[in-house]
Amino acid sequence: MDASAGQAVTEISDPQTAGAPATLRAEHVAPERLVLARGLFTGPAQRISDELYAVVKGGKAHRERFSLRLEKGTTAHTNTYFGRFAASYWQRWTTVTAVQVAMTLEVAGRTKVRLAASDIAGHRRVVATAETRETGRLVLNTALDMFIDGGALWLEIDAIGGEVTITDLEWSAPAPDTVRSVAIAICTFNRAPDCAATMAALASDATVLSSIDAVYVVDQGTDLVQDQPVFAETAPKLGDKLRYIRQPNLGGAGGFTRGLYEVSGADEHADIILMDDDILCEPETVLRLRAFANMTVEPTLVGAQMLFLYNPDYLNVGAEETDLGKLKHGQKVSKALRNTSMLKKHQERRVDAGYQAWWTCLIPAEVVRTIGLPVPIFFQWDDVEYGLRAREHGFRTVTLPNAAVWHADFYWKDFDDWARYFSSRNSLIVSSLHTDLDPKAVTRQLFREISEYLVGMQYGLAHTTLQGIEDYLRGPKALQDGGIAALAAARGSRGDYPETVKHPAATAPVVSAHVQQRRAGGEPSRPLLILLKRALNQWRGRTIHGVIGVTREDAHWWHVGLFDHVVVTDASQSGVRVRQRDKETARRLLVRAYRVLKQLRTELPALQNQWRSAVPELTSRENWERLYGIDPK
């Protein structure tokens, strides 16, 4: 950092030399009442629908972030995604037994206010009402005693006799004896503008900023966040709370762990909120996660939900769990909403998460103190593993509705990517650590998946998947450098497979006039039989010749496998991939898969024991200090 720039930030490589922010160690005086959520009426960016915050009917309204002015005859309600109070979650997991909602009303005539509630089926009931003709503070109270399985609370306001303005809307409860410190850790790699914007969002809300004791930005890239103009504008607002750390790229695991390492080393009683760099941040989410964590009966990991950045009304999933026997994460919890417009539907039922992804997640100090730091698996499955390990030690995870950030939609990222190496390897590592895998079932499943890739002419994807399995077979020594060499190998070797290259659609290496578009039929009722049939026909050369165009939605292996030369739209919609039948490459990869999976089936029980035995060392502060190049002295 250039100190002459006047930016209040410390760039550190060793926490012993720079120290932690004094604010992180400060005592917090508990207020009489703790604000659990505030009333917001518009979002943090213009692309966000106002109706995620409040709905106005029957007249005109004028919105600002924390105020809503209704003209005479207008009604409004907060039975919206961010306007609701998640009563079911608060009753089930916290010490809160009653909640108070208070607001300032500036009225010019008769105004009616209702506190409404829902149940698990979404049936509405009114739990408190008030009517006023006078400007002032209005308070409504209700018990949290009928919401265990589901339901929420919200407000309804009728401007009957004249204009009314609502401000300073707060949901609150008696505060606990102590309020916990909290720090935010943001991990970033060459997304400097996004990361700077996330920092700016946190600094834009004075109440949220005052509740944060430290902000650690872990920059692992070459396009530095500190060089962004927004960073220069934001750093003075964060002041001594900000710590900017540069280090080699150790992936999300290495970046987030650095935040956990720094904060837990500075204050063993501080909670940590891990936050992605490339989100659109709703600052209110920080306040809600922190309040919930302060009220839980036992220390609890508290996560924000993810809304889609490109389709910002849509929820990714209400809560997630794993199916480790099938090496799967990101599985929807039963009855949870998924890919759903939150303008049209609410998650009335309480759904309990198996783990929380780290786009935004609060981790209590007790968790780090008890289970240690994450496993250095570089990228993907690191958050899953940490959540599962926490649960095995008695710590629950709650994914809190009405607390969310916006993150890039997953379905815009193509599955055929270098990241598949880490997904392949890490799924085996994490599943080995937390369940007893069946060697026959696992190898059958992996052989089936690789066969589908080969039938679909995704040779690079098959290779990348096998790379991950092969490195799992190496045992814990594969994590010796934290993933730097693995990343280089995964990226570098994909260039050997032409179909992994994305081309502009207009200049792809095919004659456009010869491309015929072919749509896919329905999913086969007997997919294994079709897989065998496609593979046999390809081996005999009985495929449809000519160049075929296939859209992303139709790029199923059973459809692509009918042809020998296909132009497939990339999931990003920014280009195309050209897949061409290569019998010799398919044969070579099939033989390799057979040998690798045969070894995996034989050695899996012993490998599981090796990986489990290595966890204490892998997750120790000493191991991470070695990876970071920190001398603990």
Catalytic residue list? 383
User: Is-contact 602 586, C-beta < 8 A?
Assistant: no
Dihedral pair phi/psi, residue 41, rounded to 5°: -125, -5
DSSP symbols for 375-398: P---SSSHHHHHHHHHHHTT-EEE
- How many secondary structure helices (H) and strands (E) does the chain include? 17, 27
DSSP symbols for 547-599: -EEE-GGG--HHHHTTBSEEEEE-TTSS-EEEEE--HHHHHHHHHHHHHHHHH
How many CA atoms lie less than 13 Å away from 435 in the CB half-sphere? 17
Return the exposure string of 330-353: e unless at least 16 CB atoms fall within 10 Å of the residue's CB, then b.
ebbbeebbeebebeeebbbbbbbb
What is the distance between the terminal CA atoms of the chain, rounded to a whole angstrom? 25
How many CA atoms lie less than 13 Å away from 454 in the CB half-sphere? 29
Placement of tokens 């698990």 in the chain? 120
User: Is-contact 110 162, C-beta < 8 A?
Assistant: yes
What are the angstrom distances between the C-alpha of 63 and each of 40, 78, 166? 9, 13, 10
Tokens representing 604 are 């899996």
Regarding beta strands 396-407 and 360-363, do their DSSP bridges make them parallel or antiparallel, or are they unpaired? unpaired
How many CB atoms are closer than 10 A to CB 289?
23
Helix axes 192-203, 283-295, angle to 10 degrees: 60
304 in helix, strand or coil?
strand
Tokens representing 480 are 């010796």
Q: For residue 162, what is the DSSP state?
A: S
Tokens representing 328 are 């799967």
Tokens representing 8 are 């209040």
Spatial distance between the Cα atoms of 302 and 398, rounded to a whole number of angstroms: 5
Q: Which of 320, 360, 321, 316 is nearest to 341 (CA)?
A: 316
Placement of tokens 């489990």 in the chain? 612
Q: 3-state secondary structure string, 200-240? A: HHHHCCHHHHHHCCEEEEEECCCCCHHHCHHHHHHHHHHHH
